[in-house]
Amino acid sequence: MAIAIRTATPLDAAVVADFNRRMAEETEHKQLDPQILLAGVAALLADGDKGVYYLACDGDDIVGQLMITREWSDWRNGWWWWIQSVYVRADWRRKGVFQALYHHVVQAAQAASDVLGLRLYVEKENTGAQATYRKLGMSPMPYLFFDYWLS
């Protein structure tokens, strides 16, 4: 069971959108609009400035994903990479898929000269994911997140 990591292409949009739909249902009990979701995934895959998806694969079979977006820090003159849209297929969980994706991203961040570190957010109740992130060396941040929707 060798997991290979690759960058998603526009041809992967349907699988990535489906994984995002499943993740929203499982973690937040949200039903996402499939057309808006697919359009959002396709927009990112067509424009690398929006972010990048990395896919974990067993041969041609996509078994997991994560997305990276960037946030510029004027305080530190560098980029924070945000890990988002993490999903591992149920039949592949607890088999090192997220760990492989995470290590791939850490190596890519270390190879870039202007990346400060990695960040992510997680639902307060998702203690399983929190334990995984701690095990990989991540620490909780002392911030609360707020948002304001324009629509």
Give 40-77 pLDDT, tens digit per residue.
999 999 999 999 999 999 999 999 999 999 999 999 99
Partners of 71 in the β-ladder = 80
CA 23 to chain centre: 11
Query: Low-confidence residues of the chain, pLDDT below 50?
Result: none
pLDDT of residue 145: 87
Tell me how far apart the alpha carbons of residues 121 and 83 are, in angstroms, rounded to a whole number: 8
pLDDT of residue 1: 65
Tell me how far apart the alpha carbons of residues 147 and 58 are, in angstroms, rounded to a whole number: 37
Tell the residue number behind the tokens 């959108």, with chain if given: 17
The CATH-assigned architecture of domain 4-135 is 3-Layer(aba) Sandwich (3.40)
pLDDT of residue 142: 92
CA 116 to chain centre: 17
